Structure 1
Amino acid sequence: MQEQALITTREEFGQALTRLRESAGVSVRQVAAKVGADIAASTLGDWFAGRGLPSLSSRDLLVEVLRVCGVSDEAAVEQWLNAWHRVRRAPGRRPAGPEPYRGLAAFETEHAEWFFGRAALTGQLVAQLTEPGLRLVVGASGSGKSSLLRAGVVPALGSGAAVFTPGPYPMAALARQRGEVLIVDQFEEVFTVCEDPDERTRFVAALGEAAERAVVVAGLRADFYGQAMRHPELLAAMRSGQLVVGPMREDELRAAVVEPARKAGIEIENGLVELLLREVAPAGADGEAHEAGTLPLVSHALYAMWRESQGRRLTIADYRKVGGIGRAVADSAEKVYLALGEHRQELARRLFLTLVHVASDTAATRRSMTIAEVLADHDPAVAAEAEDVLDRFVAERLITVDLDKVQISHEALLTAWPRLAGWLESDRAGLVVGRDLAEAAARWAKEGHDPGALYRGSRLAVARLWAEGAGPHAAPGPQARRFLSASVERQEAEAAAQRRGTRRLRRLVAVLAA
């Protein structure tokens, strides 16, 4: 086992980093000089001494430090980054032993040994992947599609499988893949966070072309089925290569609850499993053990119980204490939120609304962003506070940070936490305007402040009206404010030029008339 896999504390991270530096024969000051960043050697010294950890926005700097210390292999760099994230999201007292449950977070490939209850469905899907073609894996939000693909299918297929999410630039994400089997998780991002319809069409066409020579699997949320039908390549897959992920049967859900505990050596009190199964059982359903969409709530309740019991024994009292299936998620989120001061509560609201995609014609969905994008609208002095708020929700598995990607751990949080649901409901129209403005400002900045990307006309008028009336929680950030100011200046300049042209034309007409 790699040394990084054994790191669980900040001190162990610093010790391992120091051993790496010493083996490379460089001092802390030499490392600081070689990375060439505007950072004090004392700050790096804190990293090596275990007194501090790199912040989320320092990811790229940490990678450079690792390279200076001799870590150049991408797989090794990723192992170090995984250790860093593991330590960052594990503050305070934690249960001893392995984590048997994932909470709202999906099972990843490295968690395959803890993934129970989907063996039959995994085998059914893998059996369909013997010939090139495009297959769709469709299910409701909360059905466990991501876990099935990442912890079930990928390990079964072996090293030839590459799994990725489309993100805002799906063509670039596709170009980075090298697998013989392409697995596109959260395919609905093509319709939510990819803003360019032409790129969306090219991406779907590229998957169709890849499917002529390789196996391509796309995991799609069921409520985006209609949008997927507009693309011929996806429509063909619906007709010939579709697998539906439905609710688990009772024996499957029982295995998902009992087997991870058994593997971790954790005792389950008699009656707890039966209580849990009764509370999630749908009325009148034939053979199904739970309502669609409740699986992440079950998973989070189990994770919260494991945390509460310190990993020793799961009891009915623990189940009641964490709020049961119905309240465990909300109670966890509310506990973190209420522990924040007023200013940081505002940052939390802004953070969550940033991580939700809100549109006028579809249900709200989570969106993945980089650390830099999440912090882009924060002044430097506030960014550190925003990172601390982020870390607190990450520690409860409510937000997931995977290398440089940040997202709400599961869409279930959008409805299970009443406070967040209230934020989203209170000003949906305003959120759409604010989201469009933030995305337009980000594109403008990325394109070198291209004047052609600025707002004009009614779009500018609506955005200005929203910005003037937005409360402190929803107010546009610095980048959006700069974008609005530049848009106003350009519109005023164009209007002034038009007025000058009109005056010249009038003078010319007068001269000709004379």
Structure 2
Amino acid sequence: MPAIFISHSSRDNAIADEIKAWLAADPLGFERVFLDFDKDTGIGAGDDWEKRLYMELSRCHAVILVLTPNWFSSKWCFAELTQARALGKLVLPVVCAPLGEQDILPQIQKVDLVDGNPKGLELIQRRLHAVADELARGFQLSAHRPPYPGIQAFELEDAAIYFGRDDETRAIIEKLDARRTQGGARFLLIIGASGAGKSSLLKAGVLPQLSRRRRHWIVLPPIRPERAPLSALAKSVAHHTGSPSAADDWYRRLKDPRAFSEIVTLTDKLRVGVASAATVLLPIDQFEELFTIAEPVERAAFLALVATSLDPKHQQPLMVVATGRSDVLHGLLEGSALAVLTETTSLPSMPLDRVPRLVEGPAEVAGLLVEQGLGERIKRDVDSPEALPLLAYTLALLHETTKSGKYLTLTSYLALGDAARGLNPVQNSVRLAADQAITGLRPKPDEHELTALRDAFLPNLVHLRLDDNKLVRRPARRVELPREADRLLEVLLQARLLSARSADEEGSDRLGEAVVEVAHEALFEAWPTLKGWLDEEYDFLVDFARLRSAHEIWKDAEKPDKRQALLQGLLLTRARRWLRKHPRRFASANTESLRTFIQLSHRVVQRRKLRAQAPVAAIVAALILFGAWLEAPWLKERSYWLQNVHPLSVGQERLLKSKSDFIECTDCPTMVVIPAGSITMGSLDSANERPPHTVTINRPFAVSMYELTFTQWDACVRYGDCAAGVKDLGWGRGSQPVINVSWIDAKQYVGWLKRITGKNYRLLTEAEWEYAARADSLAHFSFGNDDAQLDQYAWYALNAERRPHPVGLKKPNAFGLYDMHGNVSEWIEDCYHNTYQDASSDGEAWTAANCNPRIIRGGSWFHRARMLRSAARDWSNSDKGNESIGIRIARSLTF
């Protein structure tokens, strides 16, 4: 938006004020108008009026002269004109009263407004609109778009404020024009380093200009490959043809082996009217995603379709322009069908002498004032091209924090720095924004939320590239990120350090889901909190990347080779360690397959070990051959024992320490050693919890780390005698806690474990359960009395959304047990008694033959906090199961 200076005599204030009001009413809304007596934008009390006048003259783009006899009588009006001419400003002489013989600037056409001439107003309007158009290079900045987009790439809507890359934009357009008219490569790939501005150049520089040349170019909406490039292309075509709802249909057509014929038909339909000889241009941003995150089947189909469509023998009026990371794409196109069709052009880092233009250009378009010297000062602080993404964020923050939003000052800029840390504003802005966003939350984020945010970044939003050990961003669906991090993710989105958009995966149930992504990889270094997490978790990132790579190889392997592609050795050991340490990181839809891959690999390794027990295997084989009298269930169970069971020896068991864990078969629960000790069991809070009494657990015992899962239950169904057909109610199986099981079913399961391991697996006694749940705490919960903290430890009525959740996603108690509060209630060995009157003090089960009902403990996903207390008791009939009751098991130890 151009800045306008109104030069007038003080005797003509009323006329000048009318002109200012008329400018404000213009469709462009000229707001940056200086009128010396204006109470809002004029010369204020205490201002040096002469200095202010010259400053405003130097900043303006046009000077309107309010020509009246009074103007000619003022020496200051003449001085303003002289200064404006010396500065090369556009001067618009406006005659507002009869001048007689008086004249000024005879060589310049004057505008006659005497008697309110409407044609004169139209002349002024057209000239000022032309100035605005020239400043924005013919593009309009929408009122809802900020002048400084921040760390995110510029979009098509930002063409008016895209500065600093005019030469590069022109060069790319010239290359495309040459290939369109003269032939040659049909695929132009713009490569550059991260932070070079490739996406912005394409979307805000090249495409808006080509879109205006409809005779020559038909520009499709740009796409990003992500996981489903064909889906992204389908959406682009559907939007361009004016039928966004047809994206699903286009996706089906593009997946078809005859997709090329659809492309031919499409180009024919698009080339009509003025565009009858135009070339269709497909822009692809972040082309490297085809090779880094796209699904293999989609990648192959997309590349084949593009290569066929661009093949010169087909003479299709189609070209592709794409951006890509040079450090990723190196060597990836070689040998592909696209290689011979591709021309590569490099985008170097922006020269730092253009920095002042990055500051001042958008300000001029948006009608902002920039203090003299600010651009040069910022240029001094941008010490390398790598800092340019940080500059983009600094400018956005400066604009947001400026009080009026209309005047960018050196003082406001310097306030963004941190002298104590030795950080200039460019270096400090991202840290400042991220830390302020998080620490400004009320109530303040606790350790649990910060851990959840850490788990959102690792491994969902940050990925380590194995070929060069470089950290890169990775888009993730919002539903895959820990729900406990929602508040923190939201403020980082508001601060524009993360970006969000809707998923483009037509043909799948993911369409329209929110996708979250780090705005720029510069954040990895610029935000100390995140940098600290990444440094501390480097080993995890390396192993996780290797795990993903191994998983991809296994998925792509032919069926006979799949067993050889499973994990083994050190990587399997480390993967299982990470799975135990960070179960939440393997619980999303995106990582559940990795969890399964680890578990499958472990099972196969255990089978190989057990095959070494050749003598036993031979005996059993002989029994199978000659023992038709043996019953099939026994054989099935014995076969499972041979391949999957590896119980601890007495010596190994005696080496176990308090809180250590062990597992005795492939599908067995992980068990945690609980030390001996005493508790005051019960409470005064409820009649059935009285009287409180001391119970002593004389010997260590083991408790399952998690509630029993469907994976573990289904193993018993396959290899043992557990009941088939246990329903998951559509909530999923896998790592979900088993539900809809009765006490009788639970006893059946522990009986199977006892048989195959030879160890005393069983249900917990009520005293053992409360002892394990309290974990040495005398409070209502294992973590204290504050039920406001319950969200960190439990799924219950206030956070579970009316369903159970995969085990192990909340914090464990001090013994290392997960979900002791909430998620699902857990069957106990004891019979239910209305009080603890006459209860024993030795921790043994209080039971009787065929008693009913039985105890359930822990509360569940539909209970409120009161029922999740360590002392809270409930009961159910032993032959009944429901959607809120599950199983946790115990094992007696021999020491």
TM-score bucket (shorter structure)? 0.5 to 0.7
Deviation string, structure 1 residues 181-211 (Cα, Å, up to 9, x no partner): 1111111222322363x65455434332233
Question: For the Cα contact (< 8 Å) 2:145–2:158, is it kept in 1?
Answer: no
1:329 counterpart residue number: 430
CA distance in 2, matches of 1:439, 1:325: 37
1:462 to 574, 595, 610: 574
Is 2:410 the partner of 1:316? yes
Q: Which of the residues 183, 196, 209 maps onto 1:143?
A: 196
Question: In the alignment, what sits opposite 1:343?
Answer: 448
Q: Does 1:211 align with 2:264?
A: no
Among 472, 489, 509, the residue aligned to 1:365: 472
- Give the Cα separation in 2 of the matches to 1:502 and 1:416: 63
Deviation string 1:376-409 (CA, Å, 9 cap, x unpaired) is xx3xxxx2x4332211001111001123332111
Letter in 2 for 1:321: A
Structure showing greater radius of gyration is 2
The answer as to whether partners of 2:352 and 2:385 remain within 8 angstroms in 1 is: no
Q: 2:537 aligns with which of 421, 427, 442?
A: 427
Q: Distance in 1 between matches of 2:344 and 2:597?
A: 48
- Aligned ranges 1:178-189 → 2 under 5 Å: 178=237, 180-189=280-289
Aligned to 1:157: 210
Pairing 1:436-475 to 2, within 5 Å after superposition: 457-458=568-569, 460-470=572-582, 475=585
The SS at the match of 2:176 is: coil
Equivalent residue of 2:386, what SS?
coil
Contact 2:575–2:598 (Cα < 8 Å) also in 1 = no
CA change 1:488–1:201 in 2 (3 A) is closer
Judge conservation of contact 1:133–1:211 (CA < 8 Å) in 2: yes
Are the aligned partners of 1:399 and 1:408 in contact in 2 as well (CA < 8 Å)?
yes
Paired positions, count: 388
Offset at residue 144 of structure 1 (A): 0.8
Question: What is the CA distance between 1:258 and its match in structure 2?
Answer: 0.5
- Residues 481 and 147 of structure 1, relative CA distance in 2, 3 Å threshold: closer
CA distance in 1, matches of 2:356, 2:340: 36
Secondary structure of the residue that 2:322 maps to in structure 1?
Answer: strand
Provide closer, same or farther for how the CA distance between residues 400 and 505 of structure 1 changes in structure 2, counting only shifts above 3 A: same
Residue 224 (structure 1) aligned with residue 340 (structure 2) = no
Summarize the Cα distance change of 1:478–1:203 in structure 2 as closer, same or farther, 3 Å threshold. closer
The aligned amino acid for 1:401 is A
The 3-state SS of whatever aligns with 1:248 is coil
Structure 2 residue aligned with 1:121: 168
1:143 deviates by 1.0
**Superposition pairs of residues 247-396 of structure 1, within 5 angstroms:** 247-249=349-351, 252-280=354-382, 291-310=384-403, 311-323=405-417, 324-339=425-440, 340-353=445-458, 354-362=460-468, 363-372=470-479, 374-375=480-481, 378=482, 383=483, 385-396=484-495
Q: Indicate conservation of the 8 Å contact 1:194/1:200, yes or no.
A: yes
- Structure 2 distance, partners of 1:171, 1:466, is 34
- State the alpha-carbon separation in 2 of the partners of residues 97 and 150 from structure 1: 18
Counterpart of 1:408 (choices 498, 518, 541) is 518
Q: Does the C-alpha gap of structure 1 residues 489 and 273 become closer, same or farther in structure 2, counting only changes over 3 Å?
A: closer
Write the letter of the residue equivalent to 1:107: F
- Residues 478/106 of structure 1: CA separation in 2 closer, same or farther (3 Å cut): closer
TM-score, reference length from structure 1: 0.66
Find the aligned partners of 1:243 and 1:181 in 2 and give their Cα distance.
Answer: 17
Alpha-carbon distance, 1:463 to partner: 1.7
TM-score (ref. length: structure 2): 0.39
Distance 1:303 1:488 in 2: 47
User: In the aligned structure 1, how far is the partner of 2:191 from the partner of 2:595?
Assistant: 40
Identify the residue that residue 116 of structure 2 maps to in structure 1. none
Between 429-438 and 209-218, report the one with greater CA deviation.
Answer: 429-438
Partner of 1:104: 151
User: Structure 2 regions of 5+ residues with no counterpart?
Assistant: 1-142, 212-217, 241-279, 418-424, 503-513, 555-561, 628-895
* Mapped partners of 1:492, 1:330: distance in 2: 45
The whole-number CA distance in structure 2 between the counterparts of 1:350 and 1:265 is 43
* 8 Å CA contact retained: 1:168, 1:195: yes
Rounded Cα–Cα distance in structure 1 between residues aligned with 2:206 and 2:489: 31
1:266: Cα distance to partner? Answer: 1.4
CA contact (8 A) 2:586 2:594 kept: no
Q: Distance in 1 between matches of 2:593 and 2:386?
A: 41
In structure 2, the residue matched to 1:29 is none
Q: Distance in 2 between matches of 1:481 and 1:185?
A: 29
Q: Deviations for 1:95-149, whole angstroms, at most 9, x for unmatched residues?
A: x985110110111112222212222221221222232701110111111111111
Q: Which has the higher strand share?
A: 2
Letter in 2 for 1:386: A
Contact 1:337–1:345 at 8 Å: present in 2 too?
no
| CA pair 487-270 structure 1, distance change in 2 beyond 3 A | closer
* CA 1:332–1:457: 2 relative to 1, 3 Å: same
Is 1:228–1:235's contact at 8 Å kept on the other side of the alignment?
no
Secondary structure (helix, strand or coil) at the match of 1:278 reads helix
Distance between the aligned counterparts of 1:226 and 1:441, measured in 2? 24
Q: Deviations along 1:342-385, whole A, 9 cap, x unmatched?
A: 2222222222222112132231111122223x33xx3xxxx2x4
Checking the alignment, whether the CA contact within 8 Å between 2:162 and 2:205 is kept in structure 1 is: yes
SS of the equivalent of 1:187 reads coil
Shift of 1:460: 4.4
Alpha-carbon distance, 1:486 to partner: 8.2
Of Structure 1 and Structure 2, which has the larger fraction of its residues in helix? 1
Q: Secondary structure at the match of 1:357?
A: strand
Letter in 1 for 2:520: H
> Is the contact made by 1:98 and 1:264 (CA closer than 8 Å) also made in structure 2?
no
Pick closer, same or farther for the CA change 1:251–1:463 going to 2, 3 Å: closer
> Does the CA-based 8 Å contact 2:579-2:595 persist in structure 1?
no
Q: Tell me, in whole angstroms, the C-alpha distance in 2 between the residues paired with 1:216 and 1:267.
A: 40
Q: Is the 8 A contact 1:434 1:476 kept in 2?
A: no
Instruction: Report deviation, 1:439.
Output: 9.6
Query: Using the alignment, how far apart are the partners of 1:100 and 1:415 within structure 2?
Result: 25
Give unpaired runs (5+ residues) of structure 1: 1-95, 282-290, 445-451
Q: Percent identity?
A: 30
Structure with the larger RCO, 1 or 2 (CA within 8 Å, 6+ apart): 1
Deviations 1:48-97 (A, max 9, x none): xxxxxxxxxxxxxxxxxxxxxxxxxxxxxxxxxxxxxxxxxxxxxxxx98
SS in 2 for 1:215: strand
Tell me the SS of whatever aligns to 2:350.
coil
Label 1:177 to 1:509 Cα distance change in 2 as closer, same or farther (>3 A).
same
Distance 1:442 1:392 in 2: 34
SS at match of 2:222: strand
Name the CA shift for 1:502/1:277 in 2 (closer, same or farther; >3 Å). Answer: farther
Contact kept? 1:104, 1:296, Cα under 8 Å = yes
2:146 & 2:394 partners in 1: Cα distance?
Answer: 14
After TM superposition, the structure 1 stretch with the greater mean CA deviation from structure 2, 325-334 or 455-464, is: 455-464
The answer on whether the counterparts of 1:192 and 1:357 sit within 8 Å (CA) in structure 2 is no
What is the letter of the counterpart of residue 151 of structure 2? L
3-state SS of paired residue (1:208): helix
